[in-house]
A and B are shown apart, each in its own frame.
Chain A
Amino acid sequence: MDWTFVSNLILAGVRMATPLIFLALAELYSQRSGLVHIGLEGLASIGSLAGFLVSLVTGSPLLGMAAGAAVGILVNMIYAYATITLCAEQIVYGMAINIFAPALAAFIYRVYFGAGSELVQVALMETVAIPGLKDIPFLGPLLFDQTPMVYLAYALVIFTAIYFNKTKSGLNFKAVGEHPKAAATLGINVIGVRYAASVICGALAGMGGAYLTTCYTTTYVDGNVAGRGFIALAAVIFGRWSAGGVLLACLFFGFCDALQIRLQVGSFGVPYQFFQMIPYLATVVVLGIIGMRKAGPKASGKPYRREER
């Protein structure tokens, strides 16, 4: 195992972690306001298609990302209206989004392209190297020679950490997820915060999906989100509902997936199933080590009824 192997492995891990970061941040904002959202997979699916189509039509992956965010918000408003205004069960509606949105994406794809079977490909977003910094040995290519969306993902992590811990608005936001009635008595608009969280969640989840088709793969295939929505959900729990923890968890999941791929290639006779187990095995081991000492926001999953005592 040489230095190049390690460097390429970490690079692959970063590449695979980026969409997870968008999705996990989406979940973090949602859960911090008290909304458990298991529908990220669906939001990412529709965002992925929107990003692909807009990128194809306009030739601009950046507009594709914006479209992914917009469509993510739009679809997530179904969830928001049902769970915030109508106080419906959050898990049920999250699951409904997971079934509805990918089917809608498949339907739109067929309507747009017909029953044709040609492989449609789009141009990906170009990488933007940061002069000087990209030449730093090892870290340079990992951190400073990426697409703008990778920079955005890491910037969002920093922003989120500061927002939740150092700003009054962020503390109010967290208060809604911890004890909405107490927050309301302090004059915080609980419903407003939860809708704002849903807008942020929809936008980030849609961007996570759009990243796949505007920055990662040149094609759109049904099912290309491939369970990332659920991994992101696990990453938030793994990361203890903090921005820094979520980042580390996403990098960990990305690294494990990259590791199993790289080890399969150089396995030399070891059954490939052994390497495919690595991400799951690592998850179990880490959960066992860190335990579940700290629970999430206390009002997570509970509807807020203003009239209720």
Chain B
Amino acid sequence: MKKFLALALALAMTLALAACGGNNAGNGGNNAGGDGGEGKTYKVAMICDSSISDGGWGMSCYNAMVDAAEANGWEYTYSDMIAQSAYYDTIVSYCDQGVDLIYAPGNQYTDAVLQAAAEYPDIAFALLNGGENTPGEAENGNVTSLLPDAQQVGWIAGALAGLMTETNIVAFIGGMELDTTKGKYEGYVESAIYVGEQEGKTVSALDIVYSGDFSASDKGIEFAKAMIDQGADVFFGDASAVDSGARQAIDEANAASGSVKIYDIAQPSDLLGQNECIIGSQVTDNSSMVGLCMQAVADGSFGGEVIYGTLQNGALSAGAVSDLVPAEKQEAYQSYIQQMVDGTFMQ
């Protein structure tokens, strides 16, 4: 009898777990209304290793998919908080469900996407921050890289950091050591140093740090506190929920000093107002790039290309700037952004 009860209890927990759908069970399954235009209802699925409620990268990428799906009349679904070991299995499970487009927002999904793309030639795969060569590596030509220019992303944040730093030390927090993260850091540093020079300052940057995890907001707190101790007063990051933790620490430091003197620049959507310390945002219009993929799937022309996101084509931009940035610095910032668009920045 006891064995039976133990088994029944285990079964009940398993069934409850199945009902919950696991850790990565953020399954939206929403219909954006309408169809693809020819009677077929298209469906996109996003996979994400961070939470879509992280107040940063995951949130912005999810919103981009929802916006694009609504604009194109697609259904959408997602799985978040996926462990690295489950990237491939999650993608394949969506492939088996017959989705038309897999949207993988990050360079770290490249191997899993290429493996699944080889096995499912009729399904389209959009890899945000994918490599320039990645579409060519897909034997079925069904992978497209969406590639925001990481250097320009860094430039946009770095220019504001160079203008606003008073200690002349800026900081950057990374999640994992990805090429795109390193590209953003390098752009951020060179831009901050250049703009600082133009403003008569000698700006330096602390070494990039990595939390090794996109969910560890507590590590964001500790990194930010350590960097503030080192004198950093403008932060930028590429670490999802870790960035949210860093902003919490910055807000606390500002509250303790009685004035807002330490700032954060958000990405990849406009997060002005989310925290007091955010003075501006680097905005990536992932929605338009995902939308282009959806249109290509619908008209049968998808695959094998790289869709670049740059300041020049409007996929990258600077978000709204806080009142904490004085008017003359706001003006100077817009001037630097215009130089970036014109291709004359740092020339």
Contact = CB atoms under 8 A, between A and B. Distances in A.
Nearest to A226: B216
Interface residues of B, number: 58
Please name the 4 residue pairs, one residue from A and one from B, whose CB atoms are nearest each other, closest first: A119-B55, A107-B20, A88-B6, A117-B59
B20 A222 contact: no
Given A226-B216, A226-B218, A4 B53 contact: no
A207 to B, nearest CB: 16
Contact of A8 (B54, B229, B241): B229
B54 A221 contact: yes
A92 B59 CA distance: 36
Contacts of B63: 117
Interface string A90-123: 0011001001101110110110010111111000
Contact of A221 (B9, B22, B30, B241): B241
A155 B276 CA distance: 36
A103 B10 contact: no
Contacts of B206: 265-266
Interface of B: 2-3, 5-6, 9-10, 13, 16-17, 19-23, 25-26, 28, 30, 50-56, 58-59, 62-63, 78, 80-81, 177, 206-210, 212-213, 215-219, 221-223, 225-227, 229-230, 241, 244-245, 248, 274
Given A8-B229, A222-B215, A119 B17 contact: no
Name the interface size band of chain A: 35 or more
Contacts of B248: 217-219
A8 to B, nearest CB: 6
A269 B207 CA distance: 7
Interface of A: 4-5, 8, 12, 15-16, 78, 81-82, 85-88, 92-93, 96, 99-100, 102-104, 106-107, 109-110, 113, 115-120, 212, 216-219, 221-224, 226, 258, 261-262, 264-269, 272, 276
Contact of B53 (A107, A118, A264): A118
Contacts of A115: 26, 28, 30, 52, 78
B25 A103 contact: yes
A78 B9 contact: yes
B77 to A, nearest CB: 10
A100 B17 CA distance: 6
27 contacts: A8-B226, A8-B229, A12-B222, A12-B225, A16-B218, A82-B9, A86-B3, A96-B13, A107-B19, A110-B26, A115-B26, A115-B30, A117-B59, A117-B62, A119-B53, A119-B56, A216-B221, A221-B51, A224-B215, A224-B217, A226-B215, A261-B222, A264-B209, A264-B223, A264-B226, A265-B227, A267-B207
